[in-house]
Chains A and B, each alone.
Chain A
């Protein structure tokens, strides 16, 4: 495969390391988990802890694993160290779009804050 790096142009996929679904950008918001307040895990209601585990479980372990177009994370390991969000079809391997993951993450953050 050839990945069209937004900064560096077309690069052979063997320069990259694959991580997985770009949903890994959406790490659960731990600000809601009250770490900063000094609240000790043991002090919180069990429900809160279990809910955090459930959220992280779904984030880390469950996948849509779509046969078709997906967004996924690739790292330019033998290159510039950029993480990219690649929109690729898992059936045809055609690549529709390549973005800098940091741009995507920043846009998402701004969106979340706007909400």
Chain B
């Protein structure tokens, strides 16, 4: 069933009784060419591109709970490609371009909304670093604009310019940055993959891998064993737990990141803003809620909840940057499990076990990467060669000293 305005009209006259399932609910088959472990954004995107671009549709996505129940369903919905390093920049720009044609690709409106992302700076040194970054973005084919303080004030007159501890000196704007309706990304990819023949199997937990002589040939699940030629893990915050079942240790720690939404408000913040002197970033959703977040809590956790001190820290940043939000109310808060890597950059790679592939380590930046991650993972699975734009995301990069450390924070995941 195609989605379009006419369909909505037709269905409205049929009292909305004629809509079809967005995706089937198939029983798992005994064998697939490719099994994708993890029905999050990246896994579903991988399935979509495998089927649509690489013509491989004997594929199943195995999801422990309900699809989109991980970080794709709990994030601050930001897309951008404002990266510094050559290992990252072209990849994220590729992702942003895929976002820009996502709705037509999927026939599902995920509300990709490019209202701009503005990173503020508050010192000369920060400005220099942002200029370096802005130029790296332009070199990678992305867009970037440098604003001085008056340029920022023109865009966002309500920020604190008068009374700030760290006055705003300017900002680096990526006009093509923006937000996407996060759940719709998972559903849109799922629906498209399903229409191309992929089996999406919910409530199917992978309990172990079938590995003999260094070759992985299938998985044990809560719904029985399933064989496959290739097994592609992409389980974000659960990466270490799942890969431990295959006997692998990863350069990843799981950390909690909290995010927040306010009550619905009439529009007053058009784009995305990040504060440069504290941990705070914000946008306003199409429903009117202020969506904001800050830094990770800083300790390993699988608990999906954070501490009060970080809530306070984030709101302090918010009030320092835009004291007009003081009388809005925080409506919901939640914590997600971030697969924080040792250099802040992800992995899309084969493992030392034949037939077993890994995609993870996205830290708290995985959402914006969803299309390119899926596309590049599909490329790796289909061709056994890394996609040229994801060639730096190797698991052995630390052994050879090829870190992709945007922040320069070193081998400490909670600093990335």
Contact = CB atoms under 8 A, between A and B. Distances in A.
Task: Report A-B touching, CB under 8 Å.
Answer: yes
A91 interface: yes
Contacts of A13: 299, 307, 309
Interface string B221-254: 0000000000000000000110010000111111
B412 interface: yes
A91 B250 CA distance: 19
Dominant SS among interface residues on chain A: mixed
Max chain A C-beta neighbours (<10 A), residue from B254, B299, B309, B399? B299
Interface in A56-82: 57-58, 60-67, 70, 72
Given A20-B413, A57-B398, A57-B399, A63 B301 contact: no
B370 interface: no
A20 B240 contact: no
B302 interface: yes
Interface in B344-388: none
A34 B307 CA distance: 46
Contacts of B398: 57, 60-61
A67 B302 contact: yes
Chain B binding surface, main DSSP class: mixed
Given A13-B307, A61-B342, A72-B299, A67 B241 contact: yes
Interface string A1-29: 10000000000111001111100000000
A18 B299 contact: yes
Given A57-B398, A92-B303, A63 B252 contact: yes
A103 B164 CA distance: 45
A90 B300 contact: yes
B298 interface: yes
A92 B413 CA distance: 21
A67 B250 contact: no
B142 to A, nearest CB: 30
B413 A93 contact: no
B411 interface: yes
Nearest to A74: B299
Interface in A38-63: 53-54, 57-58, 60-63
7 contacts: A18-B299, A63-B249, A63-B252, A65-B240, A67-B240, A67-B254, A92-B303
Interface of B: 240-241, 244, 249-254, 298-303, 307, 309, 342, 398-399, 411-414
Given A63-B252, A64-B240, 11 more contacts: A1-B307, A13-B299, A13-B307, A14-B307, A53-B399, A58-B249, A60-B411, A65-B253, A72-B299, A72-B300, A90-B303
- Would you list the 6 A-B pairs with minimal beta carbon distance, nearest first? A65-B240, A14-B309, A61-B251, A62-B249, A67-B302, A61-B398
